Structure 1
Amino acid sequence: MWPTVRTNATHLLSAFRSEPAWLFGDIDALMPEDLTAEEQIDYVKSALQKTTTLVINKQKIPVETVSYTSHSEALPHDAELVLQSRHTFAHVDEVTLSLSKALGSVHTSFVKPQYQRVGAGESATVKYK
């Protein structure tokens, strides 16, 4: 299961430096001031991995990895976070995703992969219901 979240990068980074957000419990700790841009992204990814709750078919599933991609800063939601998890369910009937308040308002997208083996030179067809 790979939920995707789109949010504003500037807001996201400032939220993890916000003392009021920390005092109100929206974040667990303040992001250190002296981090490089890459370290800031790693900090946010780690914090979101710890605070995100993913429930599939009423069973809590750990978020294994968070990937971060930055898009054009002209877009209001210029940061894309992809949360990756594994499960063993044959059928997924329900997904619940709870995110940190630090993200603010976000757009989400859920991907339900369909796996199949494709031989060399063959085609694959996926049908959506």
Structure 2
Amino acid sequence: MKYLLCLIMMSVLSQANIAMAHSIDSNKARLTLRDGQAELRLHIDMQHWFQALQDPAAWILGDTNTVMAPNLTATQQQAFIKDLLESNTVLHLNKAVVALQLKSLHTLTHPTGQAELVLEGLHHNKGLEIEQVSLTLPPSLGAIHLNVVRPQYRMLAAGKTALITFN
């Protein structure tokens, strides 16, 4: 009986390790809306994205709108990514288009090859209530977990309490 319990326990533990070993870091996006400025931070698995962009079948199926040549230099790859993101990322705030520009692309020290891409744009809703946000990203990125943030800034005096209300 003890032997059987031991085998069952080992089986369960090995399955838990397999499940943890196959966890996938998904693509993420954080859209931060400040007064007059929008910032979009993308955390992307670049190796997977490049594979999708270099796959002609993905283009035929409509999973990407352009095919990236496999023999591009690093500078050419960055120019390709910049053009792709800026022309296929569409942000609307209160139905007004906000043009986003790629400001930086950093490879993170992460074993999965994640990179952080930062796009920024100016909007004319400064001081106005933003009631509606619409964001479209290039289909080649795949599914993305999106987080939208509207920071509230306050000066917190030493030893005092800040009161922040949400509508």
| Fold shared, TM-score > 0.5 on shorter chain | yes
Would the aligned equivalents of 1:61 and 1:86 in 2 still touch at CA under 8 Å? Answer: yes
Alignment of 1:100-115 (within 5 A): 100-110=138-148, 112=150
Would the aligned equivalents of 1:17 and 1:30 in 2 still touch at CA under 8 Å? Answer: yes
Alignment of 1:87-106 (within 5 A): 87-89=123-125, 90-91=127-128, 92-106=130-144
Query: CA–CA distance in 1 between the matches of 2:150 and 2:121?
Result: 11
TM-score normalised over the length of structure 2: 0.60
Larger Rg, first or second structure (1 or 2) = 2
Q: If each structure's helix is expressed as a fraction of its own residues, which one has the higher value?
A: 2
Aligned with 2:85 (options 28, 42, 48): 48
Query: CA–CA distance in 1 between the matches of 2:68 and 2:110?
Result: 22
Q: 1:66 to 1:12 in 2, by over 3 A?
A: farther
* Structure-2 residue corresponding to 1:85: 121
Identity rate, percent: 28
Query: CA–CA distance in 1 between the matches of 2:155 and 2:75?
Result: 39
Map Cα deviations across residues 44-98 of structure 1 (whole Å, 9 max, x no partner). Answer: 121111011111112222223352111124147x111212111111323332211
Q: What one-letter code is carried by the residue in structure 2 that aligns with 1:5? A: L
Would the aligned equivalents of 1:2 and 1:110 in 2 still touch at CA under 8 Å? Answer: no
Alignment of 1:1-129 (within 5 A): 1-75=38-112, 78-89=114-125, 90-91=127-128, 92-110=130-148, 112=150, 125=155, 129=165
- Which stretch of structure 1 is more off in the superposition, 3-12 or 88-97? 88-97
Aligned Cα root-mean-square deviation (Å): 2.6
Would the aligned equivalents of 1:3 and 1:108 in 2 still touch at CA under 8 Å? Answer: no
Larger RCO (CA within 8 A; separation ≥ 6): 1
Would the aligned equivalents of 1:52 and 1:63 in 2 still touch at CA under 8 Å? Answer: yes
Q: 1:49 to 1:66 in 2, by over 3 A?
A: farther
Which structure 2 segments of 5+ residues have no match? 1-37, 157-161
